[in-house]
A and B are shown apart, each in its own frame.
Chain A
Amino acid sequence: MTLLDFARGPALSFAYAVFVFGVAWRLVSLLLLPRNKELSQAKPGAPSVFSAAVLGFVRHLWPQKAYLRGTLFATLNGYVFHLGLAIIVFGLAQHILVFQSLFGINWPNLPSSLISVAAVVTLASLVVALVRRLTSPVLRLISTGNDYIAWFVTTLPVITGLLAVSHLGAPYETLLAIHILSIALLLIVFPFGKLMHAFLVFLTRTGTGIFYARRGAEI
């Protein structure tokens, strides 16, 4: 069995299983957790739970004016690599093939040159995010190993993917295998660390929205 056979076969199957297991575990245990009864009276004129949830989510897409000065750069940079990752993951023909093989659906791909540009920008943005984390005293203090692991397993596939498409440094089969293995690592780590925010962000931000809207607080 070659490295590529291993990556495409057992490694990916294992990673998919761990990912699905972990995400199901964390989501189900969170959603079934006993919740405190809401004892307060809803403020008159408070929006419905649904609109409060949507508003809460939308409101958090951009920082409050008062905080904007300090967070503008980080917010923008965050958008850059999140959008960049989305373009790469959902726009590259090779990636769409993976979704097609898993879910049977496909969509038109973006030109490879555009993806390459997106990947380089994303990589730069991720590096900037790390530099900021390491140089800002506050951020450094509140960063844990978990944050660095999340950064590492996200950045690794971008680097290995760039190498694979540009056929740099090793034969394509080796580069592709390493790229697939780096994705497998990402999938395995995903449910158990900070990356889970990709799912939880919808719970936390909507939850906060509902909580404060009921009390008439501006967020």
Chain B
Amino acid sequence: MPDNATIGELLARQGISRRALLKYATYLASIMALPPAASVAMADALAKSHRQSVIWLSFQECTGCTESLTRSFSPNLEDIIFNLISLDYHETLQAASGEAAEAARLSAMKANKGKYVVVVDGSVSTLDGGIYSTNAGKTNLQVLKETAEDALAIISVGTCAAFGGIPHARPNPTGAVAVSDIITNKPIINISGCPPIPEAIAGTIAYLVTLGKIPELDHLGRPKSFFGESIHDRCYRRPFYDKGLFAKSFDDEGARNGWCLYEVGCKGPVTYNACATVKWNGGVSFPIQSGHGCLGCSEPNFWDKGGFYKPLPASTGENGTIVAGALVAGAAVGAASAALSRSRKNAAKEKQP
């Protein structure tokens, strides 16, 4: 969709006023904890800039991340994010298919060499040369390397792209890895979550387009503005945790009273994401508010952490056999040492005149 119009002109053409853009920029700036003045600058920059060329690659994924973005808070504002970017390639959303689709990717890469952003959702299969996930005759691995080559930056959307996610879970039959395991020479922003919060995707893209730089990232490469605090630190059930009031099952008195879900396996204390503040479906609710503990879906290996309903302090190992073995071994060594001292004693007795 080559179009030289600025974002402002494009929005005006669609009847989206500067006021709506400002509202959107204010919203994004506030959820990204930017200073209030930034929203005006952001709106102005947005209006003046050209749309960012984005190539969206879908690998081993469930399309939940795209669903999350397209089911963004309000239809009007959701449109805006698609006006900020020129989505030059997206298997699910583009009209083109087959050869034409591949041609669109290649031409966008050529036209915006060094300037396009690659968004990846899904993990990359590496086993046996990556043959377990292919598209248009190429493995995901090939397409990723080829597309990342001249990219400005990469945004790994969703836990699969960011950390390997569910395909990476044991026993990982396809040798799935994160994008950052393959591409090491480009800036990578991880927007983890299964799926990620749409505002986190939109906000990060908007930040990149307007300010032209990578937002501040945490040690796992996630924007601090969305992943800087744990769910637990911002959870409205926290006062119950602090008092020691816990739901023991999903239908007990504690659950009905809205007490803390730690005992039924909530991973909020070790999960960093904005669910407790930005929430879902336009700020309606989030899992803990709906009565279920946090699964920890924005953290690496969340699928292999011993079970969603296993509380955090519980051991994740299968201790039964190992402990039984230790018991038998300990008792055997004890019996042997007692027998040894018994035989020593007898020998000493025999020696006595």
Q: How far is the CA of A79 from the CA of B208 in the complex (A)?
A: 62
B263→A97 contact, CB < 8 A: yes
Answer whether A29 and B322 are a contact pair too, CB < 8 Å, given A9-B316, A16-B315, A176-B312.
no
Please choose the segment from B35-43, B154-162, B338-346 that sits at the chain A interface, where 4 or more of its residues have CB less than 8 A away: B338-346
Please choose the segment from A62-70, A104-112, A129-137, A143-151 that sits at the chain B interface, where 4 or more of its residues have CB less than 8 A away: A104-112
A93→B319 contact, CB < 8 A: no
B326→A17 contact, CB < 8 A: yes
A28→B246 contact, CB < 8 A: no
A29→B329 contact, CB < 8 A: no
Please choose the segment from A19-27, A42-50, A196-204 that sits at the chain B interface, where 4 or more of its residues have CB less than 8 A away: A19-27
Q: How large is the interface on B (under 10, 10 to 19, 20 to 34, 35 or more residues)?
A: 35 or more
A20→B317 contact, CB < 8 A: no
Among B230, B310, B330, B339, which residue has the most Cβ atoms of chain A within 10 A? B330
B69 CB to closest chain A CB (Å) equals 28
B311→A28 contact, CB < 8 A: no
Q: How far is the CA of A172 from the CA of B230 in the complex (A)?
A: 9
Contact of A32 among B233, B318, B326, B338 (CB under 8 A): B338
A23→B306 contact, CB < 8 A: no
Contact of B329 among A9, A21, A94, A101 (CB under 8 A): A21
A21→B330 contact, CB < 8 A: yes
Answer whether A28 and B331 are a contact pair too, CB < 8 Å, given A17-B325, A172-B270.
yes
A21→B315 contact, CB < 8 A: no
Collect the chain B residues with CB atoms within 8 Å of residue A97's CB.
263, 311, 313-314
B319→A13 contact, CB < 8 A: yes
Contact of A17 among B244, B269, B322 (CB under 8 A): B322
**Contact of B251 with A by CB under 8 A:** no
Answer whether A173 and B270 are a contact pair too, CB < 8 Å, given A18-B326, A32-B339.
yes
**Contact of A98 with B by CB under 8 A:** yes
What string of 1s and 0s marks CB contacts (under 8 Å) between B212-233 and chain A?
0000000000000000001011
A residues 46-97 near B (Cβ < 8 Å) are 92-95, 97
**Contact of B279 with A by CB under 8 A:** no
B334→A9 contact, CB < 8 A: no
B242→A112 contact, CB < 8 A: yes
B314→A98 contact, CB < 8 A: yes
Collect the chain B residues with CB atoms within 8 Å of residue A112's CB.
241-244
A20→B270 contact, CB < 8 A: no
B334→A26 contact, CB < 8 A: yes
Collect the chain B residues with CB atoms within 8 Å of residue A101's CB.
310-311, 314-315
Q: How far is the CA of A92 from the CA of B305 in the complex (A)?
A: 23
What string of 1s and 0s marks CB contacts (under 8 Å) between A1-42 and chain B?
110110011101100111111111111111111100000000
Collect the chain B residues with CB atoms within 8 Å of residue A20's CB.
323, 326-327, 330
A102→B337 contact, CB < 8 A: no
B residues 219-278 near A (Cβ < 8 Å) are 230, 232-233, 241-244, 246, 248, 262-263, 269-270
B338→A24 contact, CB < 8 A: no
Collect the chain B residues with CB atoms within 8 Å of residue A21's CB.
326-327, 329-330, 333
Among A24, A92, A109, which residue has the most Cβ atoms of chain B within 10 A? A24
**Contact of B6 with A by CB under 8 A:** no
A29 CB to closest chain B CB (Å) equals 4
Contact of B315 among A12, A24, A26, A92 (CB under 8 A): A12
Collect the chain B residues with CB atoms within 8 Å of residue A34's CB.
338, 341-342, 345
Collect the chain A residues with CB atoms within 8 Å of residue B315's CB.
8-9, 12-13, 16, 98, 101-102
Q: How far is the CA of A4 from the CA of B302 in the complex (A)?
A: 12
A residues 115-173 near B (Cβ < 8 Å) are 115, 167, 171-173
Answer whether A17 and B333 are a contact pair too, CB < 8 Å, given A5-B305, A97-B311.
no
Q: How far is the CA of A17 from the CA of B329 in the complex (A)?
A: 10
Interface pairs (29), CB distance under 8 Å: A8-B305, A9-B317, A13-B318, A16-B322, A17-B323, A18-B326, A19-B326, A22-B330, A24-B334, A25-B334, A26-B334, A27-B334, A28-B330, A28-B334, A29-B333, A30-B338, A33-B338, A34-B341, A34-B345, A93-B262, A93-B263, A94-B262, A94-B312, A97-B263, A97-B314, A172-B232, A173-B269, A173-B270, A176-B269
Q: A92-B244, A94-B311 are in contact. List 9 more A-B contacts (CB 8 A).
A: A8-B312, A8-B316, A16-B319, A94-B312, A95-B313, A97-B263, A98-B314, A106-B248, A113-B243
